């Protein structure tokens, strides 16, 4: 079945450092890929998405590129802020968001802490 | 527009009791998904429902767990005779009706602790 593997955390960085969180996936067909963020005490929020190979999703300074050849969707940000401290989840959907019933398969989550 | 609501936010049950978790989808949404997050793990899909219909329950444990989404009122995830291994965070997500896109919006979760 489908699966998502994220780099193990936690990750601790200083403000303005470069961030990479690795994500690789296994899926049949051509899934859509997502990064979700969870702030303390809140639900998951969609951070960015990519629906086909070579697509780049971006939002709030975060980017991730759908790499079919390496089955990866690594999350990057050039300069992190304290407010980016949260748990980040990589996820995939076989059907994408254009079809109803598209369940999500999540990675384990990576806790990011950014210190001032 | 209120987001996805879940209650209670925290629930403590003793072994053998029943747990009822409620999820009110966003206004205009009629698709509901339930996910479970065990300690130190990612979220795992449990069930997908539309109003009055269970569409996909392939992630639900075979016993003690049930879900419903009635025509009126919230979706309910029910766990009978809880055991310690049921302790987890349970998240609900909702998405739009027909026409898409079907982005899933998540609630804050219910943290269930079984003592």
Rounded mean pLDDT of B56-73? Answer: 94
Average pLDDT over residues B50-73: 93
CA of B27 vs chain A CAs: smallest distance (Å): 17
Inter-chain CB proximity A104 and B44 less than 8 Å: no
Would you tell me which residues 91-110 of chain A have a C-beta closer than 8 angstroms to some C-beta of chain B?
A: 97-109
d(CA A61, CA B67): 39
- If you average pLDDT over every residue of chain B, what do you get? 91
- Distance from the Cα of B88 to chain A's closest Cα (Å) equals 14
Model confidence pLDDT, tens digit, residues A27-47: 887 888 999 999 987 889 999
pLDDT value at residue A109 = 92
pLDDT at A101: 62
Burial class (CB in 10 A: 0-12, 13-18, 19+), B67: buried
Is A20 in contact with A79 (CB distance < 8 Å)?
no
């Amino acid at each position: 079945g489908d699966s998502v593997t994220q780099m193990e955390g936690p990750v601790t960085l200083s403000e303005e450092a470069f961030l990479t969180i690795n994500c690789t996936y296994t899926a049949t067909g051509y899934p859509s890929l997502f990064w979700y963020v969870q702030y303390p005490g809140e639900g998951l929020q969609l951070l960015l998405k990519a629906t086909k190979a070579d697509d780049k999703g971006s939002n709030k300074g975060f980017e991730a590129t759908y790499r079919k050849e390496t089955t990866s969707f690594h999350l990057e940000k050039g300069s992190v802020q304290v407010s980016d401290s949260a748990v980040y989840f990589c996820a995939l959907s076989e059907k994408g968001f254009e079809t109803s019933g598209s369940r999500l398969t999540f990675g384990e989550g990576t806790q990011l802490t950014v210190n001032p | 527009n209120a987001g996805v609501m879940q209650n209670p936010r925290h629930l403590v049950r003793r072994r053998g009791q029943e747990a009822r978790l409620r999820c009110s989808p966003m206004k205009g949404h009629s698709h509901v998904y339930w996910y479970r997050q065990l300690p130190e793990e990612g979220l795992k899909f449990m069930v997908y429902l539309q109003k009055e219909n269970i569409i996909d329950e392939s992630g639900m444990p075979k016993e003690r767990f049930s879900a419903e989404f009635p025509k009126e009122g919230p979706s309910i995830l029910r766990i009978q005779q809880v055991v310690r291994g049921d302790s987890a965070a349970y998240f609900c997500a909702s998405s739009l009706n027909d026409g898409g896109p079907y982005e899933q919006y998540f609630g804050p979760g219910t943290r269930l602790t079984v003592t």
